[in-house]
Amino acid sequence: MLDKNSKIYVAGHHGLVGSAIWNNLKQRGYNNLVGRSHKELDLTDQVAVKAFFDEEQPDAVVLAAAFVGGIMANSLYRADFIMMNMKIQCNVISEAYAHGVKKLLFLGSTCIYPKNAPQPMKEDCLLTSPLEYTNEEYAIAKIAGLKMCESYNLQYGTNYIAVMPTNLYGPNDNFHLENSHVMPAMMRKIYLAKLIHDGEWDKIAIDLDKRPVEGVNGSASRHDVITILQKYGIYDNKVVLWGTGTPLREFLWSEDMADASVHVLLNVDFKDVIGIEKYSSVHYGASTDGAVDRNHSAGRGGAIPSLGEIRNCHINVGTGKELTIRELSELVVKAVGFEGIVEFDASKPDGTMRKLIDVSKLHSLGWTHKVEIEDGVQKLFEWYQDSLK
């Protein structure tokens, strides 16, 4: 059990989820937190990661750092998505083990599930059929991460838990049009289309200065601004979005995800996840003096046939509710106060048609979401406006 003085390293603490987890821990009185920006610590650098662990010796690790993006980025940078994420995971998990970290929480994604998985998706549908092609590399990296956690637990008796959040949104979301996810991209496009129609070029300049689009910032000519925005489907009082608008998506407020993550970190152990009482009584190759033998574990599934096959130990984190991309656009239109046209370009890919997760395991472990999508979209737009001040 982690006490209030435990040193907790949050990898990716400036990101959407990492920052929310950091704040959630602070609110609960956990103040001995460690974070490093990407500039301070490149998690793909094995030597640097080892040096960091040597110096800080954390008691627990939250691995919320990842190389992420939407459909376009996933399609363009396939090699980067698998290689960068694998490096980050291998470096952090291996050093956490080498330095005796008591608890590790790995954050994945529900894109780990097959494209045509039965809905809602239970944890057990992992690796049962092919993945969605557009984000295959990212999904494979995340599957490898959760399998690392599972395998270390089974071989070494560690306590590493993997959580798989659904689509997240919230404070500190990424609104850069080149590589953002569906909701922030949609929100920014609709907001800019409204500003163009209203002739509020000063606000457009502020927006582009804050988040330039392909190098075009607020000081660019009006012609250049219009040209670059049209490339991303942003026109005077009109927005063109990718796909048909019919795919169903589930969304979880990032601060809810953080609360779920911290709940799991503080209250859920590997034995709770696999639901096998006798697993906790298995001695992990304990030596005569009671110390754990890190080279051997009697807890290996293969070593104890009575336990059977232990897999799919990860936990889905979501709301268990869904809406179409078109319905999402209507909520965004309402939040922004947009009175123009939203069109869908059916020649562009939809991605997976449905991605609803089963959250019964999470509920059984004592946590349910609080923020509903209607309120969350409004809260996100308010945060976005505040970020431009």
- According to DSSP, the residues that pair with 315 across neighbouring strands are 163
Of 73 and 77, more confident? 77
Give the three-class secondary structure for 49: helix
Tens of pLDDT along 54-70? 999 999 999 999 977 66
Q: Is 48 helix (H, G, I), strand (E, B) or coil?
A: helix
Q: Which helix (H) or strand (E) holds 93?
A: helix 78-98
Give the mean model confidence (pLDDT) for residues 118-134.
Answer: 94
* Mean of pLDDT over the chain: 90
What band does 71 get if pLDDT is binned at 50, 70 and 90? low
Q: Is the pLDDT of residue 36 over 70?
A: yes
Which entry of 9, 30, 138, 152 is annotated as an active-site residue?
138
Enter the DSSP assignment of 100: T
Q: Is the dihedral of CA 243, 321, 167, 170 positive or negative?
A: positive
Q: Which residue in 360, 326, 339 sits closest to 247, CA to CA?
A: 326
| The pLDDT value given to residue 308 | 77
What is the mean predicted confidence (pLDDT) over 85-108? 97
Interval 131-182: pLDDT, tens: 988 889 999 999 999 999 999 999 999 999 999 999 999 998 889 998 788 9
Lowest mean pLDDT among 95-109, 132-146, 218-232: 132-146
Question: pLDDT band at residue 285, thresholds of 50, 70 and 90?
Answer: very low
d(CA 320, CA 357): 6
What pLDDT, on a 0 to 100 scale, did the predictor assign at position 291? 39
Between CA 207 and CA 205 the distance in angstroms is: 5
Q: Is residue 305 pLDDT above 80, yes or no?
A: no
* Predicted local confidence at residue 69, as pLDDT: 64
Residue 111: is its pLDDT beyond 50? yes
Residue 15, helix vs strand vs coil: coil
**Strands 248-249 and 323-324, bridge-based pairing:** antiparallel
Other Cβ atoms less than 10 A from the Cβ of 363: the count is 12
Q: Reply yes or no on whether 191 is catalytic.
A: no
Most confident residue range from 41-50, 270-279, 283-292: 41-50
